[in-house]
Amino acid sequence: MKIQAFNVYHLSCTLDYTAWNSVTAHPTRPALVVEVVTADGISGWGSASGGARGGEERLAAAAELLPGRDLRDWGGLLARLTPVHGRGRNAVAAVEIALLDALGRTLDMSIAQLLGIQRDRVPAYASGGYYYDHLPNRRDLLRQEIADARERGFRYYKMKIGRSTPEDDLDDIRAALNAAGNSMRVAVDPNCAYSYPVALEVGRSLDDLGVLWYEEPLPKRQLDAYRDLRGKLELPITGGEGYADLGEFQQALAARAMDMVQPDLSGAGGYGACLDVAALAAAHGAACFPHCWADSLHIVASLHLLAALPTSLGIEFGVPPLLEYDVTENPIRMQLLGGEPPVDADGYVAIPDAPGLGFDVDRAALAKFAID
C-alpha cells in the first residue's frame, strides 16, 4: 500500500454574476483538489473549500512526506502534517480525505464504513438565497430557488440575510416562507453581519415567523453576546463554520453560546477534527450540522462525515444532522464529478456504498478549471 505520488490541482471558475452574502463578494469559485496515487495505480481524491487559503506550506510538506510511505500509516502522516494552530488545516483536511479515499478503494470499503457508518442516507438542505447586484429585488430569485429545490426533493432551504436593511430582509424572508409553504422549512444566515441590538431585533421577528434556525448572526468570537441572544430567543442559534481549532468550539459550547455548531470539514481540519467537535457538542447537549459550501467532491466528502455522526445529534430539530447542499451557480461543482449527488423524493441523499468516496473525479474538468 505504498504511496507513489501526491498531486495538487488549484482550480477556479468565474461566475456569470457576483454572488454576495452580507459582507463578502464571490465573483469566482476557487477550489483545491489533491490526489494521492498508490503504487498499484489507485487514486484517492480530496478537496478543500475555498481553495488553498494559506495552506501552501502544508501542501509542500505533504508532497515531501507522502511519497514512499505506507497508506495504512495515514493517521501518523496526518499528525505530522497538521499545524498546531488553524492556518493550513484546510489543506491537511484535503489530504486526509484523499488518503481515506485511496485506503477505502484499496480495501473495498467506503469512507463512511471506515469512519463507522450509522445511516445509509441523510436529509439535505438547499443552500442559496444570495444577493446579486443585477437583482435589486431578489424575491423572484428566492421563489425560483425554492421552487426548484422543492422539485428536486429538498425539504429545507437556507437563505442569506444581512446585506439589506432588516426591514427588506424580513420582507424577503416572508416571501421565501410563503414560497416554501408547508412542505419546506427555511433557515437564515447573516454571516456575522449584525451588532447585538440588530441581531436581537431581527431574531424576535424570526421567532414570530417560525424560521428553522438563525446562523451566525454575530461575529464569531462574541460569545457573551451569543449567549445573551440565545437566552432571549426561541429559535436555535447556530455557528462555528469559521472555527479552525477544537478549542474554539469548546469555548463556544462551554459558554452555552449556540444550540448547534457547524464545523466545516475543510476549515475545521478534517474528519477526525469534526468527529471530535460532534462529541463535544453531544457532551454539551448541542447539535452538530457540518457546514459545506464548496465543490461536489467536498459535498460528497461531507456526506460521508454525516453518515458517521451520532444519530442523537439534532433531535431537538426533529431531524438528524442535515447535509448543506449548495444550489448556487458553480460550474466546478457541476462538472468535477460529472454531476451532483442526486436528492431523492424525500429530500435525502444516499451514502455511496462504492469504495472510498464512491465518485471519480473527471480529469477533463480538472484541466478545464486549472489555474497556475
User: How far is residue 33's CA from residue 48's CA, in Å, rounded to a whole number?
Assistant: 7
| Angle, CA 315 vertex, CA 231 and CA 169 arms, to 5° | 55
Residue 370 is classified by DSSP as B
Which one from 10, 134, 284, 291 is the annotated catalytic residue? 291
Is 291 among the catalytic positions? yes
Does residue 267 contact residue 290 with C-beta atoms inside 8 Å? no
Output the CA torsion sign for 104, 79, 71, 339. Answer: positive
- Provide the strand spans (E) within 196-347: 214-215, 237-239, 260-261, 287-288, 323-326
Phi, psi of 60 (to 5 degrees): -65, -40
User: How far is residue 77's CA from residue 325's CA, in Å, rounded to a whole number?
Assistant: 30
Here the cell at position 289 is 450540522
Does residue 91 contact residue 119 with C-beta atoms inside 8 Å? no
Q: How many CB atoms lie within 10 A of CB 275?
A: 18
- Residues annotated as part of the active site: 291
